[in-house]
Amino acid sequence: MHHAIFERELVHLERVIALAQQKPFPPTYWRDRVKHLEDSPQAPLYRKRIARLASLLSELTG
């Protein structure tokens, strides 16, 4: 994934996951999106941000 696309995806997820309880998408949808980022070659550069997203999702699902 190109760096700019990866960054946009990460910023988008950071914004919407904070509001995920209010949206029509189940937590599994967001988990899959974060997992896709974790599996990307760029992931090491964004390790902390991705981990924070995963943590927020864990809080949503209890």
- Helix (H/G/I), strand (E/B), else coil: 2: coil
In terms of pTM, does the model score above 0.75?
no
Which structural domain range is residue 50 located in? 3-61
- Helix (H/G/I), strand (E/B), else coil: 41: coil
At 9-30, the pLDDT tens digits run: 999 999 888 776 666 777 788 8
So what's the pLDDT on residue 61?
Answer: 75
At 20-57, the pLDDT tens digits run: 666 677 778 888 999 999 999 888 999 999 999 999 88
So what's the pLDDT on residue 37?
Answer: 92
Q: Looking at the 3D structure of the chain, how many domains does it have?
A: 1
